[in-house]
Amino acid sequence: MPETAPRRFRHLLLRAVLLPLGLLLLLAGILLWSVSNLIRAQEDARHSQQSLTRLERARQLLVDRETGLRGYLLTGKPAFLEPYQTAGQELPAVVDALERSMEGEPGQRAWMKELRERWRDWERFADEELSLFHQGGDWLSVVRSGAGKDRMDAIRATLDAIVAETRQHASLRGLEAERAGRTVLLAGGLWTLAVGVLLAWFSRRQLILLAREYGASLARVHAQADALRASEARLESRVAQRTHELTVANKELESFSYSVSHDLRSPLRAIDGFAQALLEDDGPRLSPEGLRLLSRLQGAATRMGQLIDDLLLLSRVTRAEVQREPVDLSALATSVLQELRQREPARDVTCSLQPGLVARGDPRLLRVLLENLLGNAWKFTSKRSGAHIEFFSEMVDGVPHYVVRDNGVGFDMAYAGKLFSPFQRMHKPSDFPGTGIGLATVQRIVHRHRGDISAQATRGSGAILRFTLQEAEA
């Protein structure tokens, strides 16, 4: 999948979420506005209904007041004044509440102003009738004149007009509330349907785009996998070809080494044999210089034979298959040192071997390793009295290190980097004979056991060689 695919995926997801969310918020705003209009219309209708109730209450109080006054004037009984006085105490509060409920209607405020004037006019007229009645005046002629009835009829007419107009307003507000409710339902239904259709359309579109993106990404992944498999096949073919070439080269090298060793050994044996025959037949007639040259000739032939043997050994070590089995290194070291003592029984050498050293490895190669290390220790202590050779094990970071230590001539650590290279020697051949192949063979054996080897020495104070056999341990 390319690097832009995750960004594209996030962009599609955001678009799929944010756009419907924006539409839903817009729908919520419209519905809130419609519901607000509906609530306001219902509140107006409720106010109109309250106004009608207060108008009816005001009408009833005025009637009680007129009826109470008339009964008192006709009978003279104070009991008839009770509704007159009760209605008079309650009527101002009812009229004030009625006027407050009509503050938002300019036309009805004018009606309320007229109602208050007619009501005050009737109250003055009622007070005059009561005053005449209490003073013993001609109150009956005032009643008969019909002036009180005319005033009350005017009040009723005003109340009827206000009620008619209020009912008309209440009816209009009810219609507005009903219309607002229908608008809310219709708008909500339409927008819900629209949002549902948009969501379905966007979801289908996003799914199609995602499917295309993933299809393209999957095709690219398959193409890359095919390319990797083809590259792997080419690489395996190339490795197989190189392995075949290397196998052929190794066989050719092995054949060449065998031929060289066989072909070189014959003339060497002839040279050594002729030199020995010359020494035996004509030795007394040869001059001292001739005898010296003849001895050097035999020595060179012997050295070249040893060199051929060491090279063949190094070659076999490199090519030999490593066997894994428990090997008693202490027993191997004891056997090697016994052979060395048999060769030079006059040597004064003290050997210290740690018993019970067992490792997993190839017994044949490990014997060659110890023959070289202990042989070097034996050789480089040959010019020292009180020679001491040790073989033991020590643990470093949880890994056993096998150590061969001697107190021989040692070597200069400045040349330690060349110690394990073939044909590199730290001492003159006249001092210590050798071919310079032994430590190179040792290093090959250690590496074939997945181990490592190092050397530490001081000139004139001996040498220490440590090696590990890490994956071949017992």
Nearest Cα residue to 312 out of 232, 257, 239:
257
Q: According to the model, what pLDDT value does residue 406 have? A: 92
**Rounded CA separation 98/128 (Å):** 27
Q: According to the model, what pLDDT value does residue 448 have? A: 86
Residue-wise pLDDT for 33-45, tens only, equals: 877 887 887 787 7
In this prediction, residues 143-158 reach a mean pLDDT of: 85
Q: Is the pLDDT of residue 335 over 60?
A: yes
**Rounded CA separation 262/266 (Å):** 7
- Percent of the chain with pLDDT strictly greater than 90: 17
Q: According to the model, what pLDDT value does residue 327 have? A: 92
Q: How far is the CA of 198 from the CAs of 13, 213, 456, in angstroms?
A: 15, 22, 84
Amino acid (one-letter) located at 66: E
Q: Is the pLDDT of residue 4 over 70?
A: no
Q: According to the model, what pLDDT value does residue 338 have? A: 93
**Rounded CA separation 97/125 (Å):** 25
Confidence category of residue 116, pLDDT binned at 50, 70, 90: confident
- Percent of the chain with pLDDT strictly greater than 70: 93
Q: According to the model, what pLDDT value does residue 312 have? A: 74
**Rounded CA separation 434/310 (Å):** 10
CA atoms within 13 A on the CB side of 338: 6
Confidence category of residue 9, pLDDT binned at 50, 70, 90: low
pLDDT, the chain, mean? 83
Confidence category of residue 231, pLDDT binned at 50, 70, 90: very high
Q: According to the model, what pLDDT value does residue 309 have? A: 77
Q: According to the model, what pLDDT value does residue 16 have? A: 66
- In this structure, whether the domain defined by 325-467 belongs to CATH 3.40.50.150 is answered with no
Domain boundaries along the sequence of the chain: 5-214, 325-467
Q: Which residues contact 198 (CB under 8 A, 6 or more apart)?
A: 19, 20, 23
Instruction: Specify the 3-state DSSP secondary structure of 382.
Output: coil
Q: Calculate the CA 445 to chain-centre distance.
A: 46
Q: According to the model, what pLDDT value does residue 274 have? A: 86
Q: Is the pLDDT of residue 72 over 90?
A: no
What is the reported pTM? 0.47
Q: Which CATH class is domain 5-214?
A: mainly alpha
Say if CB 314 and CB 444 are below 8 A apart.
yes
Q: How far is the CA of 411 from the CAs of 288, 348, 385, 392, 466, in angstroms?
A: 36, 22, 18, 21, 16
In this prediction, residues 369-396 reach a mean pLDDT of: 90
Residue-wise pLDDT for 279-289, tens only, equals: 888 878 888 88
In this prediction, residues 461-465 reach a mean pLDDT of: 90
Q: Is the pLDDT of residue 2 over 50?
A: no
Token pair recorded at residue 235: 């690489």
Q: Is the pLDDT of residue 409 over 60?
A: yes
